[in-house]
A and B are shown apart, each in its own frame.
Chain A
């Protein structure tokens, strides 16, 4: 049983029951009209068999189908969709149980950033006063590598609030090709963290190799079904309301393997979806339901996750925005829709639009870190180290985010107010009022030991005229990375390297 994350026993319901019904009804209407534009023939055939009607069309060079999905297909798949899902892990203690009745929120990493940001403490001497020497963090940026992915998975292993690992670095080494990318990125992740690994596939043809790797680690095909230590994200929808050919193929294949899959759709309010919440919700909900339908028609009862990633467009350049209040509106409402259907939800919080760690990043991240969990989605991704939307990853920022998530989790604690606690507190108040100094400090001790008192900010600077939080975070990252990595055994590594083609020898820790 998962003890990770935090239970939100009384989740924030942004929408009224009537509004939830209205979003649902509108999504059903959209599924019928205009319907969904499919680029994948197999998915269309499954839908036709289930009672949908389709009309062939052409979109440029590609064949496509307008599919009108009647409400009864949605009702049918909601009958078979599971409400409880296990996300396994190399270390079974790190397994996550997603249960739509329990409302436990878990935090994970992502996305596949292109830029790896490094912090370097550097000493500066004042030109005006050479006696004035200061250490400031300087920042460099470069393209991410598979070695960086190994390091970030190692860091993830050491962050106590990181419950699942979604690779956060796009590996851009010269010897990484489209063909060998998937096996190397999954191996780099699985060899450096014992937590659940979730990821998308670059090349559908590598699915079997990635699953083979997971089976070797789990101890066989059946063991992997019981302990699915990997799950897949399929961005099957291209907003607005289109099903992508290759991703649909991946989704169907993963569903038939019985491995957990996230139906991820990321409409951008103001460009690929309405910016108004009503339209955004109706559309994103219809998009996720489309993915769920494909998954359940391919394999009824297969584990599936409601992956709504709605974002907002910047009005000056139409780029994504994450550090805005609308992100909370969209995501809290989607979490509620997923709860209405009884499907585990995958949501988003903690992304900074800022390019570097600092005040802007902290404000943007805390806005959603502290609010989205209150709506009780089962999984929250993008929560560690993301900057510049989802373009840049910083380990120092990931460490700061880890602490900010501690705060967010604490926010979700239920009020401990009962007859029993009130009796205890009345007794304490009476005792204190009859004591010489009338101080409650001694009575804080038990609460402190129980963990009921939130600790001080761990990266608080020592200086009175300079913020040295980032320097402190840098030092702590170095300390955590000095912990030995928890690699797969030599036997398992050898078997993986023997049976899975395309792995880079330098990733084998026993061949150095």
Chain B
């Protein structure tokens, strides 16, 4: 019985269906429960929360990643799947906490820096990180350095993701890092930057830990920096 529902979770992650109103990729899913409904159903049936996470949601995302690697899936498929898993993780969180399991791979603060209102890239990274099992606090756009530092302190975040699309707003990434240093937070938090005008070299210049060329790179770097603990 639990295998049936786990299989359904996997196939709905592959279809990127958050709930029953979502269109998937293939025909035949209309009005069928999506990932969030299936996770609720599994919890009601008493399926082990770690089993739902490992064998359903995470396994589904692994398969999505494999399909992307082979060229069968595209970014919209990855995003839809990550959104579905991210929404399911919010349902799972209290249950994981109750069981004493680690509820996420770590807490990430993400923001587009001061004077910059571009958010497509930042949103992609946010969705993908949630889908990969990180707890993401998205502060939105045009976020001052002081606000980012405050949130890092308050949430005890392990990672900050900073986004900028303009070369005129890139300096606010440096300003944010300075703010973290001023508040003695820099040693406790890793910083990843991204956005069209930024680069690996710029990351080094301003003292960031890494530069993510795209959303996948950002997720891989987050895994490397937070889960595996390396730089």
A442 to B75, CA, bound (A): 9
The answer to the question of B16 belonging to the interface, with a C-beta cut-off of 8 Å to chain A, is yes
**Interface majority SS (helix, strand, loop, mixed), chain A:** helix
Q: Which B residues lie within 8 Å of A448 (CB)?
A: 74, 76
- Report whether B25 and A445 are in contact in the complex, using a CB–CB cutoff of 8 Å: yes
Q: Does A318 contact B (CB under 8 A)?
A: no
B25, closest chain A residue (CB): A445
Q: Report how many residues on chain A are interfacial, defined by Cβ distance under 8 Å.
A: 10
Q: How far is the CA of A441 from the CA of B126 in the complex (A)?
A: 14
- Interface flags for B1-24 (1: CB within 8 Å of A; 0: not) read 000000000000000100000111
Chain B min CB distance to A450 (Å):
11
Q: Is the interface of B mostly helix, strand, loop or mixed?
A: helix
**A442, B80: Cα distance in complex, Å:** 5
Q: Are B79 and A439 in contact (CB under 8 A)?
A: yes
Verify if B199 is at the interface (C-beta below 8 Å from A): no
Nearest Cβ distance between residue A448 and chain B, in whole angstroms?
6
- Cβ distance B119 to chain A, nearest Cβ, rounded Å: 8
Q: Please indicate the chain B residues that have their CB under 8 angstroms from the CB of A437 in the complex.
A: 83, 123, 126-127
Query: Cβ of A442 and Cβ of B123 under 8 Å apart?
Result: no
Bound form: Cα–Cα A442–B86 in Å: 14
How many A-B residue pairs have C-beta atoms within 8 angstroms? Tell me.
Answer: 36
Q: A437-B123, A437-B126, A439-B120 are in contact. Are A446 and B79 (CB under 8 A)?
A: no
Which residues does chain B contribute within 8 Å of A446, judged by CB atoms? 23, 25
Digitize B75-92: 1 where CB-to-A-CB distance is under 8 Å, 0 elsewhere.
111011001000000000
Which of B24, B25, B75 contacts A441 (CB under 8 A)?
A: B75
Q: Please report which residues of chain B, range 95-128, place their CB below 8 angstroms from some CB of chain A when the two chains form the complex.
A: 120, 123-124, 126-127
Please indicate the chain B residues that have their CB under 8 angstroms from the CB of A443 in the complex.
23, 76
Query: Taking the nearest CB of chain B, how far is it from the CB of A437, in angstroms?
Result: 4
Residues 123-154 of B, flagged 1 when their CB comes within 8 A of A and 0 if not, give 11011000000000000000000000000000
Chain B residues closer than 8 Å to A445, beta-carbon distance: 16, 23-25, 74, 76-77, 80
New contact pairs (18) apart from A439-B123, A441-B75, CB-CB < 8 Å:
A437-B123, A437-B127, A439-B79, A439-B127, A441-B76, A441-B79, A441-B80, A442-B16, A442-B76, A442-B79, A442-B83, A444-B76, A445-B23, A445-B24, A445-B74, A445-B76, A448-B76, A449-B26
A contacts, CB < 8 Å to B = 437, 439, 441-446, 448-449
> What 4 pairs between A and B have smallest CB-CB spacing?
A442-B80, A441-B76, A437-B123, A444-B76
